[in-house]
Amino acid sequence: MYKLIRSLLFRLPAELSHDIALQAMSVGERVGLLGILAAKTKKYALPKTVMGIDFPHVVGLAAGLDKNADYADALQALGFGWLELGTVTPRPQPGNPKPRMFRLANERAIINRLGFNNKGIDHLLSRLESRHRKGIVGVNIGKNADTPISDANEDYLIGLRKSYSVADYIAINISSPNTPGLRSLQYGEELDSLLSALVSERTKLEKAHSRFVPLAVKLAPDMSEDELKLCCSKLLAHEIEGVIATNTTFDRERVQGSNHATETGGLSGAPLTEKACATLRQIKRLVGDNMAIIGVGGIMTASDAVARLEAGADLVQLYSGFIYEGPALIESALKEISATHSSSDKNSQRETNNG
């Protein structure tokens, strides 16, 4: 069914088909028709507590698909374990001029330079309040394009304060390639200053709300080993609870010569799989069990999801894989993860028995 829908949608420009699909899903959810597409995830008991949050299972939706929480009920109904919504900025902004999203269908990839087009954090919060399906939600926050990078901390603090009472965790997006200067926040003093500001504000919010909300920092896959080492040491020093690895890449090596490959923006999907997984593996080596890791980037198949968990991820997220494979990918990933789990449980049982 999804293949048929996809073949129709893929005839339209990428952003238009994205909007139509989300609106159709929303209508489908309201009239009770979404069950045709929804992944049957309840039969896979894979609950996991990560960053102190009890996730019903380990496959979630990555940020950027629903930037305004306009489609949270429909996406929840499809069977995701949780939703990461946003990136949202303090003020609404239109993003970059269109066209700004391109499908590289042969490569099962997407290039986007949307530039945080969103309706602003107040809109997202009101949409979250009016949801009727209450699942776990991460709110992904960023800065407005016209806020100078020197004032970026204040935008993130607005996002943190405003979303604190509704978010289960807050994702700090400092790795989008489409907001000039944003990625510089991953380095040096800018990173230190941002993390200090966020952690000290969170201490105040925790007291005021009698509630602890974990922070997860989203990183790019384009850092050198040394840069990643420095970045992770700062995340550890500031006792950040989680890292999300990774955002889209600048790298075009794997799509050279393809249609749209030279478009400016971040590349996601199958050409990112290896790079995102290698980055995650490196992060795991650097942070060990001191931080939760959410794995994202090029998870296009059930085996990709299993491989990401084996590389050290506690949870995984889908974006491009969901566009190309539909909600069936959630179910097939859970099926393979639970099969891998039960066979590794059996193996460890056997080892115990033999030992």
Ligand X SMILES: Cc1cc2nc3c(=O)[nH]c(=O)nc-3n(C[C@H](O)[C@H](O)[C@H](O)COP(=O)(O)O)c2cc1C
Active site positions, annotated: 176
Burial 144-169 (b: 16+ CB within 10 A, else e): bbebeeeebbebbbbbbbbbbebbbb
Q: Kindly state the smallest distance separating residue 350's Cβ from ligand X, in Å.
A: 35
- Secondary structure E strands in 3-105: 48-50, 53-55, 59-61, 83-88, 101-104
Burial bucket for residue 225 (CB in 10 Å: 0-12, 13-18, 19+): exposed
118 is in an annotated binding site: no
Judged by beta carbon, residue 206 or residue 253, the one nearer ligand X is 253
> Do β-strands 83-88 and 109-112 pair in parallel, antiparallel, or remain unpaired?
unpaired
320 is in an annotated binding site: yes
Placement of tokens 């028709």 in the chain:
33
User: CA-to-CA distance for 93 and 116, rounded, in angstroms?
Assistant: 7
Q: Kindly state the smallest distance separating residue 58's Cβ from ligand X, in Å.
A: 15
Backbone angles phi, psi at 118, to 5 degrees: -160, 165
Q: Kindly state the smallest distance separating residue 65's Cβ from ligand X, in Å.
A: 7
273 is in an annotated binding site: no
Judged by beta carbon, residue 145 or residue 352, the one nearer ligand X is 145
Q: Kindly state the smallest distance separating residue 156's Cβ from ligand X, in Å.
A: 13
64 is in an annotated binding site: yes
Judged by beta carbon, residue 74 or residue 267, the one nearer ligand X is 267
**Through-space distance between the first and last CA atoms of the chain, rounded to whole angstroms:** 49
Angle between helices 225-237 and 188-209 in degrees, nearest 10: 30
User: CA-to-CA distance for 18 and 12, rounded, in angstroms?
Assistant: 9
Burial bucket for residue 226 (CB in 10 Å: 0-12, 13-18, 19+): exposed
Q: Kindly state the smallest distance separating residue 51's Cβ from ligand X, in Å.
A: 17
120 is in an annotated binding site: no
Q: H helices within the chain, ranges in order?
A: 2-9, 14-30, 72-77, 121-129, 152-163, 188-209, 225-237, 273-287, 302-310, 320-325, 328-354
301 is in an annotated binding site: no
Judged by beta carbon, residue 208 or residue 259, the one nearer ligand X is 259
Judged by beta carbon, residue 45 or residue 277, the one nearer ligand X is 277
Closest CB to ligand X: residue number: 64
115 is in an annotated binding site: yes
Judged by beta carbon, residue 122 or residue 345, the one nearer ligand X is 122
In sequence order, the β-bridge partners of residue 140 are 86, 171
Q: Kindly state the smallest distance separating residue 351's Cβ from ligand X, in Å.
A: 35
Give me the residues that bind ligand X (CB under 6 A), please. Answer: 62-64, 67, 87, 101, 110, 112, 114, 116, 140, 173, 176, 218, 247-248, 268-269, 272, 296-299, 318-321
Which contiguous run of DSSP H or E holds residue 141?
Answer: strand 137-141
Q: Determine contact, residues 214/172, Cβ cutoff 8 Å.
A: no
- Known binding-site positions for substrate: 67, 112-116, 173, 178, 247-248
- Known binding-site positions: 63-67, 87, 112-116, 140, 173, 178, 218, 246-248, 269, 298, 319-320
- Known binding-site positions for FMN: 63-67, 87, 140, 173, 218, 246, 269, 298, 319-320
